[in-house]
Amino acid sequence: MTLFQSIILGIVQGLTEFLPISSSGHLVLFQNLFGMKEPMLAFDIAVHGGTLVAVLAFFYKDILVIVKDLAGDLRKAVASKDVPRAGVLPQHQGLWACILITLVPTGIIAVFFRSWIETAFSKLVFVAIAWLAMGALLILSQRFSKGQKDLSAIHYGDALWVGLAQGIALLPGVSRSGSTILAGMLLGIKKEDAAKFSFLISIPAILAAIIMDLKESIQYFSSQTTIVLAGFFAAAVTGYLVIRWLMRIIQRGHFFLFGYYCIAAGLFALTLTILS
């Protein structure tokens, strides 16, 4: 991989990780266009680390409040009495537990279907089909975008369903942000809050994915430091800008428009598969 390819793939990751168009699908597509036939899981970890930094930077205020709420609950459990938690808004109370619960179905899918998921990364035809399905669901989302529940109304059952959607999105071509936001909207959560919850649960999910594959990738990182850092920073900067843009799009009710892009991308990938 060249430095130019690293930056391009980092930008692609930053653009697509949070947009409902599948970052993994685009990485597979561009790796095919660049002639990289083998899965690039090590580099994939680096650019995912960049998008993790983007989420932490954009939602740092919410994250600090959630951490403060978690610390208060832990102190309460140890002290067996109420502990005042100044600055913790009602919508953030107990949200840390829901965020962690989403990891349960996601983790089960990641562990038990890992080999199958990794195999899917080398099959562009699978990505194409997943894109087409994702596009259809996004277009249909116009019909269930009138939810009234905010973050404070999210319960453990909602978290499990959203976590299941996140687990399915481990497959390339299935958007993590798209599937989790759609799941939240289907559960009656306001589209803006469904999007925020999707971004917040991406933090432990991305971190867990990095930890799972980090050991196997240390050698690649040490031998390709410049390339890895270039992709990392490209993904971080691009990802931060994309989050700001996407939140505005969701507020305006234009989330479904990404469905048409997914269908176009799916047809393009399918054409490449047929011609190759």
pLDDT in tens, 95-141: 899 999 999 999 899 888 877 777 776 677 888 888 899 999 999 88
Instruction: Please report the pLDDT score of residue 90 as a whole number.
Output: 67
Asked if the model's pLDDT at residue 35 lies above 80, the reply is no
DSSP annotation of 252 reads T
Which pLDDT score is estimated for 41?
58
Angle at the Cα of 260 (from 257 to 261), degrees rounded to 5?
Answer: 95
CA-to-CA separations, 167 to 84, 137, 179, 181, 259, in angstroms, rounded: 36, 17, 9, 13, 20
Q: Is the pLDDT of residue 81 over 90?
A: no
Q: Report whether pLDDT(76) > 90.
A: no
Q: What is the pLDDT of residue 39?
A: 46
Q: How confident is the prediction for the chain on average, in pLDDT?
A: 83
More confident residue, 126 or 214: 126
Q: How confident is the model at residue 184 (pLDDT cuts 50, 70, 90)?
A: very high
Q: Is pLDDT above 90 for 181?
A: yes
Number of domains within the chain: 1
Q: What percent of the chain has pLDDT over 70?
A: 83
Percent of the chain with pLDDT over 90: 30
Residue 88 has pLDDT above 60, yes or no: yes
Q: Between helices 41-58 and 225-251, what is the axis angle to 10°? A: 50
SS3 150: coil
* pLDDT above 70: residue 84: no
201 or 173, which is more confident: 201
The range of the structural domain enclosing residue 82 comes to: 3-275
* pLDDT higher than 70, residue 54: yes
For the stretch 139-176, pLDDT in tens is 988 877 677 888 888 999 999 999 999 999 888 788 88
Phi/psi region, residue 201 (left: phi>0; alpha: psi -120 to 50; beta: rest), is alpha
Q: Where are the alpha helices (DSSP H) in the chain?
A: 3-16, 23-33, 41-58, 60-79, 95-101, 103-112, 114-120, 124-140, 156-168, 176-186, 191-223, 225-251, 258-275
Phi then psi for residue 189, to 5 deg, are: -85, 140
Lowest mean pLDDT among 73-82, 170-179, 196-205: 73-82
